Structure 1
Amino acid sequence: MPEIAFYHHTNSTLEQTLPVLLEKSLARGWRVVIQAASEARLRRLDQYLWSYRPESFLPHGTKADASPQTQPIYLTCEADNPNGADVRFFVEGAHIAPVLESDAAPRERAVLLFSGEDEAELAGARAQWKELRDAGHTLVYQQQDENGRWIVKAREPKA
């Protein structure tokens, strides 16, 4: 069963946070799925990952691209996992529990990224934490400090 991490960004945006986490995942040799709740968000992420830095890009694809199983990063709104992802990032309040109960579950880690500035995302993250905790999953909650570093604030089950 994968560890589930909640990343509460308070001093940066998803667009600033996600590429860093994706680069770290690829450096580990992990395949990645990013699951959004809407096609509009997925399209924006698709464009952004090609141009987020002038000197670099993050190789990725969607179901519209050929050979999704070969993509190091696969973007979706569905509970699919054609590239056999090790880590799955959930954005825009995408729901974790149904994916963990399916063949689309990541092997190593599931990560929910949510903004402290968006009350709906914050409430959704709290509801998902409770749901997953009550189901017996291993959870870790990390929040950004004033310098943008990630600090572990809570773990379930408690040690």
Structure 2
Amino acid sequence: MRVDFYQLSRDPAELVLPRLAQGTLGAGERLLVVSEDADQLGRISEALWTRIPESFLANGIAGGEHDARQPILLSHEPVPANGARYLALADGVWRDMAEGFDGAERVFLLFPPDRIDDARGTWRMLGKREGAERKYWRQEGGKWLEGP
């Protein structure tokens, strides 16, 4: 499993997720976006529809009758009802994959500055897990740079 840590210093998760979703769909994968904040999920849904005018990033909120058909499913829980193997933790809260998403191939952990200590703890914890690949990304001048 690969985990990409995105430190959000300029843009909130709802502005970053459309590009991640576009890349996920471009790779032929489905995405599950998780946040405990219902308002944030609403903002993410709106951004997926409108942020990238040339893209069609169809999505739905979990709990509907068409969850399995959604290329991007937004949920409060890490349960991939749409068969996703890519997971975006939009609220910056790590969830252990054993809680329902043990088939994750790739995880995006998007965290604001006030959650950096939690992200550091998750980084250390994953460093002890066999098979976990970690990458760190930070915003600089509107671009994402890999780095420490």
TM-score in terms of structure 2 length: 0.84
Residues 13-47 of structure 1 show CA distances to partners (whole Å, capped at 9, x for unaligned) of: 32321111110111111110001122232222223
- 1:100-128: CA deviation from partner (whole Å, max 9, x where unpaired): 2244234420110112xx32x22221222
Which one-letter code corresponds to 2:107 in the other structure? Answer: A
The count of aligned residue pairs is 147
The residue correspondences of 1:68-147 to structure 2 (distance < 5 A) are 68-96=67-95, 98=96, 100-115=97-112, 118-119=113-114, 121-136=115-130, 137-147=132-142
Contact 1:8 1:142 in 2 (8 A): yes
Opposite residue 16 of structure 2, the aligned amino acid is: T
Contact 1:31/1:85, CA 8 A, preserved across alignment? yes
The alignment partner of 1:101 has SS state of helix
Whether the 8 Å contact between 1:7 and 1:141 is mirrored in structure 2 is: yes
Letter in 2 for 1:113: L
Q: In 2, Cα distance between the equivalents of 1:112 and 1:139? A: 11
Q: CA RMSD in A?
A: 2.1
User: Which contiguous aligned blocks of 4+ residues in structure 1 show a shift greater than 6 angstroms?
Assistant: none
Match of 1:23 in 2: 22
Q: Name stretches of at least 5 consecutive residues in structure 2 with no aligned partner.
A: none
Structure 2 CA distance for partners of 1:13 and 1:40, relative to 1, 3 Å: closer
- Identical residues among aligned pairs (%): 27
d(CA) in 1 for partners of 2:16, 2:41:
16
Paired AA for residue 134 in structure 1 = K
Range with greater deviation from structure 2 (44-53 or 29-38): 44-53
Unaligned runs of 5+ in 1: 154-159
Give the whole-Å Cα distance in 1 for the aligned partners of 2:103 and 2:60: 17
TM-score normalised by L of structure 1: 0.79
